[in-house]
A and B are shown apart, each in its own frame.
Chain A
Amino acid sequence: MTENSSMLEIQNLHASVAGNEILKGVDLTVRSGEVHAIMGPNGSGKSTLAHVLAGRPGYEVTQGRVLYKGVDLLAMTPENRARQGVFLAFQYPVEIPGVSNVYFLKNALNAIRKARGESELDAMDFLKIVKEKAKLVDLDEELTKRPVNEGFSGGEKKRNEIFQMAVLEPSLAILDETDSGLDIDALRIVAAGVNALRSPERSMLVVTHYQRLLNYIVPDFLHVLVDGRIALSGGKELALELEERGYTWLEKEPAPAATGANC
């Protein structure tokens, strides 16, 4: 490690879902302020990695460890991970009928603030933040008053995820296929929102199937996940090569060819 402190260290991570091993030894280090993209074919374990990091039940870690800011992440409950600054933007955000977006988010933000030893925000201060952050992703303010994701279009749901991220200001944001189901205009808006949140104190893990997103969110490093392992790592230019050659040639490569990102 050089100038920046380590945000996330994944070491030999193995994980199973319903008895099937999906992750078969993932190693990855993300330092403060870096944006890493994870690409890979369908079923390679990209989303599994995102969910394991967020602590989704049903994903069993069988080997390896994950340090977040030097602390054992896997020992923490999902809500404590969130309170410590881990954020997952879902590929398929669920609908929560009866609970308004702002009420939901106010409770989330106050739970996180409480964990940080800060005072809870009152309604006025909170609404100020909502107004400001909704602009960032061009989210209709009406949507913030509606029940969480209920009746939202696919694009509105994704924007809502980034809006939540903007309000909660995580240290480590994991974006799980945030581009899926978005048309090009919505993609631009979402990407602009994400880019505005890039900062030296915040790291991001951008999981995507298509190179398209990376034209807008330019990563510092890119990793290709194949069959539960990182098969190849490189800089942003790797994305273009993948766009051209696809993933199949990698599935035959025996060992990962580390070209810089893995330390």
Chain B
Amino acid sequence: MSPDNSSLLELTNREYKAGFITDIESESVPAGLNEDVVRTISAKKNEPEWMLEWRLRAFRHWLTMKEPSWANVHYPAIDYQSIVYYSAPKMKKDGPKSLEDVDPKLLETYEKLGIPLRERAKLAGVAVDAVFDSVSVATTFREQLAKVGVLFCSFSEAVQNHPELVKKYLGSVVPYSDNFFATLNSAVFSDGSFCYIPKGVRCPMELSTYFRINSANTGQFERTLIVADEGAYVSYLEGCTAPIRDENQLHAAVVELVALNNAQIKYSTVQNWYPGDKEGRGGIYNFVTKRGKCQGRNSKISWTQVETGSAITWKYPSCILQGDDSVGEFYSVAVTNNRQQADTGTKMIHIGKNTKSTIISKGISAGRGQNTYRGMVKILGKADNARNYSQCDSLLIGDQCGAHTFPYIEVGNSTAQMEHEASTSKIGEDQIFYFQSRGISAEDAVSMIVNGFCKQVFKELPMEFAVEAQKLLGVSLEGSVG
């Protein structure tokens, strides 16, 4: 009898390669959240008064807010008092001055994840800020970047060394009162990356941040701020992983991008947080607010995301197209397998004249995964000649998963041109068998179909990242055909 090896119903374990735990002594604040915790975090970072004040304003506002429930995701209530809001690997007094001072165990961790930080092995052409739990442990290529005036450091250092820039732009895109999770982040954020590209500079290498959650019961609340001054260009990459744990962990980050006149920011994410096991135990709650402001004329912000991890993803990288002739782009691949849930999409807010936006969203659902695209395109009254093109495609693997699409369109100016296309397709057993009958295995068949489906998005990623994303997608869907 022929083994029935293409039954799409059978789901087996997938392999999560980044699931190891680093055994390192860390220093944490006790679980729970109150003003003292906020003060403690601020004190640990030796922050100036204005920073603490900002945090406290956020915290007090957060107390008045309710967790949003409109997203198409389901999870037991989060106990915000059981979360540890700050955890950092123990270090010598003032923190590491150079890589020599960084605990070798940490360097090893990143090496295992494919992110070598040591001088000799550093990734060519990519500067990395490595964030471990609540703190940045190392930033590479800083001197080279400094030569052209590019500031790239941890957020904590930026608060100390470039307070004028932080003060000017922090909260200018995502105000501390923005939404429940962003406000929580504003109160307790511990670290993240800061990046400033001065006027007319084209950043000579890719900048990247690699986020790693290690400690149990710890939430990660990092904040990234990228400012591209007039005529500047930067391409920024973000990667993330976490160990396999049975409990859910909260990751509530905020990313703010500001592009001034003629500036361009390209922000790419490959998100591979631990997704939980196939029964849905454990995994990261990835509740993230990402927003970019095309503040200047003719500026451009482009988001590309490949979301394969997390138990639950709730994020909408958005663009505020304020400057005339500015351009916003959103390219997304979101995968949900097993019990994963994703509610993701974008907002394109057209304010300036002749603003253009493009949305390409590819959702892939397998196993019992639920994948929702939620997007808003808003054309304000003064945005003459605004244009938007949206395309939302869903791919279903098997018959126990779901794909949902909620596009919102608000047009307040009659000169706007809007296009919206959507499709849903399914990888069926007969397609898989067609591949097999030509000598191609079921796994390869799925990967060929999926890669074909995602092509439009992958081509937006920087080269090495595209290869990584393809591999990751393969792992994510491993076992989605029995």
Please choose the segment from A21-29, A72-80, A137-145, A221-229 that sits at the chain B interface, where 4 or more of its residues have CB less than 8 A away: A72-80
Q: How many residues of B contact A (CB 8 A)?
A: 29
A61 proximity list for chain B (CB < 8 A) = 1-2
Q: B425 near A: Cβ within 8 Å? A: yes
Measured between alpha carbons, how far is A103 from B440 in the docked complex, in Å? 12
CB < 8 Å neighbour of B438 from A55, A100, A108, A115: A108
- Judging by beta carbons under 8 Å apart, are A104 and B436 in contact? no
Q: B399 near A: Cβ within 8 Å? A: no
Give residues in B with beta carbon < 8 Å to A.
1-7, 425, 428-431, 433-442, 444, 448-449, 451-453, 455
B440 proximity list for chain A (CB < 8 A) = 79, 104, 107-108, 111
Q: A263 near B: Cβ within 8 Å? A: no
Measured between alpha carbons, how far is A59 from B400 in the docked complex, in Å? 23
29 contacts between A and B (CB under 8 A): A55-B2, A55-B436, A55-B437, A57-B429, A57-B433, A58-B4, A59-B2, A75-B2, A76-B2, A77-B2, A78-B5, A78-B437, A79-B439, A79-B442, A82-B437, A82-B439, A90-B434, A90-B437, A93-B434, A94-B428, A94-B434, A96-B431, A97-B425, A99-B448, A105-B438, A107-B440, A108-B439, A109-B439, A164-B438
Within 8 A of B (CB), among A68-88: 74-79, 81-83, 87-88
- Judging by beta carbons under 8 Å apart, are B438 and A60 in contact? no
Q: Known contacts A57-B7, A107-B448; is A79 also within 8 Å of B436 by CB? A: yes
- Judging by beta carbons under 8 Å apart, are A78 and B444 in contact? no
A96 proximity list for chain B (CB < 8 A) = 431, 434-435, 449, 452
Q: A98 near B: Cβ within 8 Å? A: yes
A81 proximity list for chain B (CB < 8 A) = 437
B4 proximity list for chain A (CB < 8 A) = 57-58
Q: A206 near B: Cβ within 8 Å? A: no
- Judging by beta carbons under 8 Å apart, are A78 and B431 in contact? no
Q: A207 near B: Cβ within 8 Å? A: no
Q: A168 near B: Cβ within 8 Å? A: yes
- Judging by beta carbons under 8 Å apart, are A94 and B431 in contact? yes
Measured between alpha carbons, how far is A100 from B4 in the docked complex, in Å? 27
Which partner residue on chain A sits nearest B5 by CB separation?
A: A77
0/1 per residue, A18-41, Cβ < 8 Å to B? Answer: 000000000000000000000000
Nearest chain A CB to B25 CB, angstrom units:
49
Q: Known contacts A82-B439, A111-B439, A115-B439; is A98 also within 8 Å of B453 by CB? A: yes
Nearest chain A CB to B440 CB, angstrom units:
6
- Judging by beta carbons under 8 Å apart, are B1 and A56 in contact? no
- Judging by beta carbons under 8 Å apart, are A98 and B449 in contact? yes
- Judging by beta carbons under 8 Å apart, are A74 and B2 in contact? yes
A94 proximity list for chain B (CB < 8 A) = 428, 430-431, 434
Closest 7 CB pairs of A and B: A98-B452, A108-B438, A82-B439, A78-B436, A111-B439, A99-B452, A79-B436
- Judging by beta carbons under 8 Å apart, are A78 and B448 in contact? no
- Judging by beta carbons under 8 Å apart, are B433 and A168 in contact? no
Measured between alpha carbons, how far is A96 from B3 in the docked complex, in Å? 24
B2 proximity list for chain A (CB < 8 A) = 55, 57, 59, 61, 74-78
